[in-house]
Amino acid sequence: MIASLLIANRGEIACRVIRTARKLGIRTIAVYSDADAKALHARQADEAVHIGASPARESYLRGDKIIAAAKATGAEAIHPGYGFLSENADFAQDVIDAGLIWVGPKPDSIRAMGLKDAAKTLMAAAGVPVTPGYIGDDQSPERLKTEADAIGYPVLIKAVAGGGGKGMRKVERLEDFDDALESCKREAASSFGNDIVLLERWIESPRHIEVQVFGDSHGNVVHLFERDCSLQRRHQKVIEEAPAPGMDEATREAVCSAAVRAAKAVNYENAGTIEFIADTSDKKDGGSGLRADRIWFMEMNTRLQVEHPVTEEITGQDLVEWQLRVASGEALPRRQDELSINGHAIEARLYAEDPARGFLPSIGEIDHLGLGYGQGWTIFAPESSIAKFPRQSVHAGVEQGDGVSQFYDPMIAKLVAHARSRTDAIEALARSCDTVSTWPVRNNAGFLVALLRRPEFLNGRATTSYIDQELEHLLETATLNAALLPVAAAQLFAIGGGALSAIDGEDFPSLAGGIWTHLLGFRANREPATEMLLLVDGAPRKAEIGTQTRGNVVGGSRMFGVNGGIVIVDAGWPHLFQLARFDGQSASIGNGSIPAPMPGKVTAVEVAPGDTVTKGQRLLTLEAMKMEHALTAPFDGTVAELNVEPGQQVQVDAVLVRIEPAG
């Protein structure tokens, strides 16, 4: 067994690998950038090495620095995690050439599956079903257009390199083909340095089915069943589950056997995932539409997947332990006939982003963090997990007080639920997401709750286009529940503005019963107050003062204090309640102060002090996370204060401009 391991990654996956390595008695070495000097993974490892500046290209993508760190610390092996250099065949070869153990597939296997056109050709030769389409050297627009016409519209143009949805275009009709092809090739060249494309039949009702495979150096290859990852937003996975809903045994056998053939075709070792696309448009007798003859190979991910915990839950196997044992030269821990499915598991990716504001990344320190019911991480064997149902677990890469950086993927944690049935697992996960709270960093928990409780998902019929089609409805649950207004008013009135700073980030004790129940609204020598003016998520609202508050205020809601107010989390969505005046100052955007939603650079200023503006008018543009974000006027008024100029770098929550309301 490997004795010492360097993890060439960060965040949740680095913490995940450290946990299993510690269980096996393996010494761990973390690497970190400037931005991650105090990160959780660097704190948890036995040793941590600084490898460069915050941008990934100067640290986590510097293979030479990572190998040097491994050499300097006496590490025997390198685990790449996922992302960054995990599927870089040249880096894998450099690790091996340096005399270190690479915890992953052989470089040749990575290369064989690296380009979609070559991989599809190889899979077809191995008897793995591939999506009908065109893969060819002739990349002339005329030939591609002819092939598209033969396939039939709509057709999908797809770059052979890269991933993440880039370099992909759906073309509905012949007249649009030339423009779509040019756009696709331009994006592919920019993103991957390769503008070669292939064509595929467009699947009208697609589901994303993938199979976990594992191989060793002794010629053994097994599958650990399938996962369904159909719930995606802009080609990025949001919810993953195992097994796939509606999968019958005959179809499971066909798709899992095809995945094993695919892995054997490239002499695969270690963990990998074979991804398939399923056409479920033919739902006979109200079924799921999953059929063996309508599932085709899409691509292979030559690494451990983000969603691997759901496979671990239903099989009772620790896949990171499998990785380390296989890399050490051992045979696979289980034969195919020793693996079985136990119950249903589902995972949600909790991101630091604000769905109500176009899913903008939310950057900064996490002053308050509550991650649902489940805490910690444990792998249960199938026979022992029966007594544990249902259970929730959290796979986190941060703790309270840590920060979310602008330089990396903003995932906070993965929330996982495992139960006897799919229905119970979904409900357990929804309850966990219901109570998630982060502040001032926002999160997507409310969006996840809405998604988990949609009927199309509950009945197993959601396709890969479902989120994009239903996004407006999924965001409707962000609307404030009016029943929270009197509760918040009572709480703010009872504790008084002066006490708010003392309870920053703390959960409120129940105020039910006792003297406060009867004296809410009382003022000496005056009539009791019955309503007050609040700022709710920055907007002024009148609220009647309620008679009491409880820790569980409305349904599954919860409440905690922040400096200057309280936050109530309802159905996963946080709502900030403040007194309309706090310490003699206006509390927030409700009085026209426009703060920076994240650190960034002001690229354009379109108003000047004294200008008259209308609600929704663009005031300035902020560039952050490689995207431009327009900040607009919250109401009609006049520019009373302008604190920035083009080119200026600003920090999160810095007041950029203030609008004085008209009248």
Give catalytic residue positions: 303
The SS3 call for residue 383 is: helix
3-state secondary structure 525-565: CCCCCCEEEEEECCEEEEEECCCCCCCCCCCCCEEEEECCE
> Which residues lie closer than 8 Å to 543 by C-beta, 6 or more apart?
485, 486, 488, 489, 531, 532, 533, 534
How far apart are the C-alpha atoms of 13 and 413, rounded to whole Å? 10
**CA dihedral of 567, 449, 225, 109, whole degrees rounded to 10:** -60
Task: Give Cα 163 distance to the centre of its chain.
Answer: 16
Give, for 619, the enclosing helix (H) or strand (E): strand 618-624
How far apart are the C-alpha atoms of 284 and 289, rounded to whole Å? 7
SS3 content of the chain, % helix, strand, coil (to 5): 30, 30, 40
How far apart are the C-alpha atoms of 553 and 566, rounded to whole Å? 13
How far apart are the C-alpha atoms of 221 and 261, rounded to whole Å? 9
Look up tokens 């805490």; give the residue: 375
Q: Which residues of 393-414 are buried (b: 16+ CB within 10 A; e: fewer)?
A: bbbbbbeeebbbbbbbbbbbbb
Is the distance from CB of 139 to CB of 159 less than 8 angstroms?
no
The SS3 call for residue 325 is: helix
Is the distance from CB of 571 to CB of 556 less than 8 angstroms?
yes
Closest by Cα among 570, 591, 373, 571 to 487: 570
Rounded to 5 degrees, what are φ and ψ at 213? -120, 160
Look up tokens 């918040």; give the residue: 488
How far apart are the C-alpha atoms of 359 and 602, rounded to whole Å? 20
Going by DSSP bridges, is the β-strand pair 4-7/77-79 parallel, antiparallel, or unpaired?
parallel
- Please, is 106 exposed, middle or buried when counting C-beta atoms within 10 Å of its C-beta (0-12, 13-18, 19+)? buried
